[in-house]
Chains A and B, each alone.
Chain A
Amino acid sequence: MLRVDGLHKSFDGFRAVNGATLRVDAGSVVAVIGPNGAGKTTLFNLLTGHLTPDRGSILFEEREINALAAHEVCRRGIGRTFQIANIFPKLTVFENVQVSVLAQQRKSLDLFHRASALAVDETSAILKDTGLLGRARRIAGGLSHGDQRILEIAVALGSGPRLLVLDEPTAGMSPEETAATMALIVRLSRDRGLTILFCEHDMDVVFSVAQSIMVMRQGRTIVQGPPAVVRANREVQEAYLGVNDA
């Protein structure tokens, strides 16, 4: 579904992403791991059109998406969340998701209908799926941190993605919230047939959920494969797991 080859991106001479490769098969759950500064977030920003790569190719469903803007990437079918909760704080929970659904239905520029009457069923269904329906009328900025992160996923779902890219979906969450969030992600993958790409610091989470793991270091891909293969890789053990598994 997604194929990334030889991807490069530099900022003022600093090579943030320096030859990354990645394979994501349709329907799978893929994790990207690596120490802080390994280039995970930059990689995700390149995949979703927030940054343009210097070199390399990004093929999504056999079509190159290197040069597309963020909103064009979204329309191709890639939704994403951000490392820090990135929502519309002044709008209600319902409106947050509705904006996304309206964009997906190409109604964002509609001047002649009442927004409050549109996309109500689709929005409610997503809120129900993510367990936010009871808080639909709350102002989003007033939600707990954990709920804001869940809302981010709900907003991303509103655009009807086939591939969902999650940048540290459980950052800053309690163990209970982390477990609930990962259960939600697994359920979305199973029930909706969503393909999921995420990065995460918690190794237990990664190795229990991901079917394929890609390890990055200094902007470069060391290895990608099933958890057992990655765990057995010597370079990975030296570079990363040995330090963090203690």
Chain B
Amino acid sequence: MGRVAAALAALILFPLIAPTFYVYVAALILVTALLAMSLNLVLGYGGIYQFHHGVFYGVGAYALALAITKGGWSPWIGFIAGPFAAAGAGLLIGWFCVRLTRLYFGMLQISLGSLLWTIVLRWYPVTGGDNGIHDIATPVALRTVGGAYYFILAIVALSVAALYLIVKSPFGATLQAVRDNPQRCGSVGVDVRRHQLIAVVIAAYFAGVAGVLYVALERSVFSNMLFWVLSLEVFVMCLLGGWYTFAGPIVGAAIMVALRTFAGRYTENWTMVIGVMLILLILFMPEGVLGFVLQRLRPATAADEG
């Protein structure tokens, strides 16, 4: 608990000492970290190959953007509705996907997700196609980088706490058992498909939360949010940070966003840096960065998890 409180205090004080651009990058890292953690609920804890998680991020963001620009809704109601729209998409896509296992689950999800991406890309009158939607009228209080940062920090902190409680709940414990041995779970009375479907819906909900927070920060949405490449990046974040640890995806998201932002200044080929890092990671840290660090620390601080 001490370390969590210290991290939270540091994040609260950060805008007071850091230049605006860095506050913006930190906010982007927080949003991306929540997206990666929501994926890790199904990937790391559920062993479910959720290959197109970005779709739910996009649905959450577009639901908010459309609620404000087309629906004339209050943005605050949109912030609440966006994640539920994402959860609805999770239920729809997940309902088909849980009938398949492993890679087939992932392949079908890429197909169904890409279908949604195509709709967003082609339906110009509503979604703006590849232009996206810009200058979204988010609440005035959120239009400064500082205001958006604190809003994002508060929601991400609450969401991470909720995810932690879910992982530690009977549902989370059973989900990890489903990951390890779905057949055995069936024969002790667990409805494996239903369990996986609920996990996908919860993960989609929190991806939707990340989606609306992205709108709070950028005041824009882009069809690329639903493109499979972004889903792949989020997948890599989980592997990079350590998918068997709770906080690993935060580390992975921080590394990826920082690399894109800072290496991107010097070279357009920043993805090459990622590629080299991934090769090194697979060779030397198959447990991910945080998994690697925790393993080294374990003798000193037994049974302590990030």
Most chain B C-beta atoms within 10 Å of own C-beta, residue among A49, A71, A159 = A71
Of the listed residues B170, B172, B173, the one surrounded by the most CB atoms of chain A closer than 10 A to its CB is B170
* A50, B168: Cα distance in complex, Å: 29
Nearest residue in B to A115 (C-beta to C-beta)?
B173
**Please, how many angstroms separate the alpha-carbon atoms of A89 and B179 in the complex?**
11
Q: Is the CB of B168 within 8 A of A103?
A: no
Check A89/B191 contact, CB under 8 A, given A95-B173, A109-B198. Answer: no
The answer to whether the Cβ of A86 comes within 8 Å of any Cβ in the partner chain is yes
Asked whether, in the complex, the Cβ of A74 is within 8 Å of the Cβ of B189, the reply is yes
With the chains together, A63 CA to B279 CA distance in Å? 57
Given contacts A87-B184, A88-B184, A90-B176, contact A110 B169 (CB under 8 A): yes
Contact mask for chain A residues 137-167; partner B; CB cutoff 8 A; 1 contact, 0 none: 0000000000000000001101100000000
Given contacts A88-B181, A90-B176, A109-B198, contact A156 B169 (CB under 8 A): no
Q: Closest Cβ of chain B: how far from A52's Cβ, in Å? A: 13
Chain B 150-171 interface mask (CB, 8 Å, partner A; 1/0): 0000000000000001101111
Contact A104 B189 (CB under 8 A): yes
CB contacts under 8 Å to A, within B177-195, are 177, 180-181, 183-192, 194-195
A89: chain B residues within 8 A (beta carbon): 180-181
B224 interface residue per 8 A CB criterion: no
Residues of A within 8 A of B190 (CB): 71, 99, 103, 108
Complex contact B188–A99 (CB within 8 A): yes
Q: Which of B172, B177, B188, B194 contacts A159 (CB 8 A)?
A: B188
Q: How many chain B residues touch the partner (CB < 8 A)?
A: 26
- Indicate if the CB atoms of A87 and B181 lie closer than 8 Å: yes
Please give the distance in Å from A117's CB to the nearest CB on chain B: 10
Q: How far is the CB of B78 from chain A (nearest CB, A)?
A: 25
Contact B177 A88 (CB under 8 A): yes
Partner of A98, one of B168, B173, B187, B195: B173
- Give chain B residues whose Cβ lies under 8 Å from the Cβ of A99: 173-174, 177, 185, 188, 190
Residues of B near A156 (CB, < 8 A) are 187-188
A19 interface residue, CB < 8 Å from B? no
Known: A71-B192, A103-B189. A108 touches B174 (CB 8 A): yes
Given contacts A90-B176, A91-B177, A109-B195, contact A71 B171 (CB under 8 A): no
Tell me if A130 counts as interface (CB < 8 A to partner B): no
Is the pair B187, A110 in contact by a Cβ cutoff of 8 Å?
Answer: no
User: How far apart are A193's CB and chain B's nearest CB, in angstroms?
Assistant: 20
Check B172–A50 contact: CB distance below 8 A.
no
When the two chains form their complex, are residues A91 and B180 in contact, meaning their CB atoms are under 8 A apart?
yes
CA distance A164 to B76 in the complex (A): 55
Cross-interface CB contact of A111 among B171, B183, B184, B187, cutoff 8 Å: B171
Nearest 10 Cβ contacts at the A-B interface? A70-B186, A74-B189, A100-B188, A115-B173, A103-B189, A88-B180, A110-B170, A99-B177, A108-B174, A115-B170
11 A-B contact pairs sorted by A residue (CB < 8 Å): A48-B187, A71-B188, A71-B189, A79-B188, A90-B176, A91-B177, A102-B170, A102-B174, A107-B170, A112-B165, A114-B165
